[in-house]
Amino acid sequence: MRPAIAPSVLTFPHADLKGPLLAMQDAGVDLIHLDVMDGQFVPPITFGDGLAKSVVGIVDLPVEAHLMIETPEKQIDAFAKAGCFRLIAHVEATVHSHRLMQQIKDAGMEAGIAINPGTPVEAIMPILTLVDLVLVMTVNPGYGGQKFLPECLEKVQKIRHLRPEVFIEVDGGIEPLTIKRAQDAGANLFVVGSYLQKPASIQEAVEVLEKSCGYVR
């Protein structure tokens, strides 16, 4: 089956994203993944709804925002207005994950919940039937280019068993070997950051990843 690929622009120069974004689109990716960091929930600061709005204006693809921020509830309207189709927030960043997911949906977006490597599946159990997507972090959030943590795949298997139809996205350290392991565990959406810059072109990177999952164009 063709794996759905969500490129992250994190490791590309943020002031010069048009070229990489159009190359991602030409390579046939499914959507764009934006890593929003606030310098609190994770050490780096990246960008906010302003950049999301620009990205939405450049590509003809759905754009999702992965909020690695404290008080994510304060950003829902801004990212909805920016044109994001899905907002993903961390369960560790709120004591009101149930209300947060509802608020994201009420704002007209799909709702995703993310869990860090140190967070068990039990933390999201009560909202599993409410969310459109679960993002299982396969590195600790904050930086691109980190090593994949295979122990996180047990959580992917558990979630897949509990909710056969939910989108399960994995994020961090995805390259040709790890994408296959994540797919076998039950993930069906793959965030890819630094690996996109390893082969000669973004197109080639996407094709290699697809091939690892048994799909040849």
For the packed helices 49-58 and 18-26, what is the interaxial angle rounded to 10 degrees?
A: 50
* Best CA proximity match to 93, nearest among 67, 127, 75: 67
For the beta carbon of residue 167, count every other beta carbon within 10 angstroms: 17
139: three-class secondary structure by DSSP: coil
Catalytic pick among 35, 49, 60, 106 = 35
Query: By CB under 6 A, which span of 73-81, 116-124, 176-184, 185-193 interacts with ligand DX5?
Result: 185-193
Query: By CB under 6 A, which span of 47-55, 120-128, 154-162, 188-196 interacts with ligand DX5?
Result: 188-196
> By the 8 A CB rule, do 109 and 80 touch?
yes
Query: Does residue number 89 form part of the binding site for ligand DX5 (CB under 6 A)?
Result: no
Q: Residue 207: exposed, middle, or buried by beta-carbon count in 10 A (0-12, 13-18, 19+)?
A: middle
Residues 143-172 that bind ligand DX5 (CB under 6 A): 143-146, 171-172
Instruction: Considering the complex, state which of residue 66 and residue 155 has its C-beta at the smaller distance from Zn ion.
Output: 66
Which of 20, 142, 176, 199 lies at the binding interface for ligand DX5 (CB under 6 A)?
Answer: 142
* Best CA proximity match to 202, nearest among 6, 20, 2: 20
Starting at the edge strand that comes first in sequence, how are the strands of the sheet with 133-137 ordered?
4-7, 189-192, 167-171, 133-137, 110-115, 86-90, 63-68, 32-37
Task: Tell me which of ligand DX5, Zn ion, none is bound by residue 186, counting a contact when its beta carbon lies within the kind-specific cut-off of 5 to 8 angstroms.
Answer: none
Min CB(73)–ligand DX5 separation in Å: 20
Q: Residue 76: exposed, middle, or buried by beta-carbon count in 10 A (0-12, 13-18, 19+)?
A: buried
Query: Does residue number 48 form part of the binding site for ligand DX5 (CB under 6 A)?
Result: no
Query: Does residue number 173 form part of the binding site for ligand DX5 (CB under 6 A)?
Result: yes
Min CB(169)–ligand DX5 separation in Å: 10
Query: Does residue number 66 form part of the binding site for Zn ion (CB under 5 A)?
Result: yes
Min CB(216)–Zn ion separation in Å: 27
- The site for ligand DX5 (CB under 6 A) is made up of 8, 10-11, 33, 35, 66, 139, 141-146, 171-174, 191-195
